[in-house]
Structure 1
């Protein structure tokens, strides 16, 4: 019979006191939980939106309020939350792989194809994974149908028909998106919805926020907007 024990502290427990919180200790050593960040993608009517916060920090220390987490690869957008160094590494890795795909195939990569590329690339590193939680958004080139999906750190794909979230503000984002999202939103309504969801969610998470970037992806154009958020 196997028994799973909870992690414990090597520090002695004080008589009559409460033992140290092992869960809090584990969270303190987990890079995605210490670096913070938030990303969300939403589906609209013939359009799709993806947004991220701009904070770069280490727990309570804020290093920068201009650290974008969304990267464009042709017609596909990738949002990355997690360890900042892995965000930079993974974004450059996919820049290389997408450029090689374009040279071989002589066409831009489709969102569904890019999602499988992300999944297989992350799974290759499953024994020493990147500390990132990617989100992919785009429009299918042939049908114009919105496409969004998310991943865990080893590449398991989570397809979605409404919205997908990642980062330390995930729980808050889920609540806001469930409250505000509606089917068949137009580009302007979709922008308002994703902006309100993200700004209100990061206000309730100490590790993310400090402004946001929002991309509205339509068939013939991409609109990028900068949102000013609380700086505290």
Structure 2
């Protein structure tokens, strides 16, 4: 199972700050050690203050994104804008429905609660079991390295600029130790009034 989910490489990490969250991903798409593309998108906007990161098999990433977007749109037709908690339930239920033939993806959800603006972080396994945290989460082929760097660099109540620096250093140092990730990175910092996107240049070898 691990070989399948990491077949195309890639990583995502998300962190909580003071009234903000950040999520970062690398750019590489490959087949094991062979790099095929250096601009594969892995983080998507779900709502004005809510982002979804997906790593795993490329075909499954695109399929899950398409189908969960449909469910989200149907939800919003009957209700108001989807909240972080509601979207987590939608995605968890969808993945669990396919537990006997699972999609090989690891989702990371990061954003601010639509009503309270409280930071929200959650990750799931491929069966849709959610894990909500108050500090940081990581997924992908270098998740262990990301968690190690997060434990070293992260601290509570980081301001947006500080959070950007911490998550940028975390992902850059982590995927330098994994041949299946890298080739640049993108960092998104979510605040109550804006989402700031920054691209990082890294080693390309």
- Larger CA Rg, structure 1 vs 2: 1
Q: Please give the alpha-carbon distance, in whole angstroms, between the structure 1 residues aligned to 2:72 and 2:46.
A: 7
Partner of 1:49: 22
Higher-RCO chain (CA-CA 8 Å, sequence separation at least 6) = 2
- Paired with 1:119 and 1:64, the residues of 2 have a C-alpha distance of 29
- TM-score scaled to structure 2, two decimals? 0.97
- Alignment of 1:94 with 2:68, yes or no, is yes
Counterpart CA distance in 1 for 2:77 and 2:127 is 27
What whole-Å deviation, never above 9, does each CA across 1:174-213 have from its counterpart, x for those lacking one?
1100000010000000000000000110000010111111
Alpha-carbon distance in structure 2 between the residues aligned to 1:91 and 1:212: 20
Q: Is 1:117 the equivalent of 2:117?
A: no
| Runs (5+) with no aligned partner, structure 2 | none
CA shift at 1:55, angstroms? 0.4
The C-alpha deviation readout for 1:160-182, integer Å capped at 9, x for no partner, is 10000000000100110000001
Which residue matches 2:58?
84
Aligned residues: 204
* Deviation for aligned residue 1:140: 0.6
- Contact 1:55 1:64 (8 Å CA) reproduced: yes
Counterpart Cα distance in 2 of 1:77 and 1:33:
22
Q: Distance in 2 between matches of 1:89 and 1:212?
A: 23
- Cα distance in 2 for residues equivalent to 1:157 and 1:219: 24
Question: Separation in 2 of the partners of 1:51 and 1:40?
Answer: 5
1:39 corresponds, among 1, 7, 12, to: 12
What 5-or-longer segments of structure 1 have no aligned partner? Answer: 1-25
Matches within 5 A, 1:9-48: 30-48=3-21
* Structure with the bigger percentage of strand: 2
After TM superposition, the score normalised by the length of structure 1 is 0.86
**Residue-by-residue CA offset, 1:61-89 (whole Å, 9 max, x unaligned):** 10000001001111311100100111111
**Deviation of the 1:58 alpha carbon:** 0.5
1:113 Cα deviation after fit:
0.9
SS across alignment from 1:91? helix
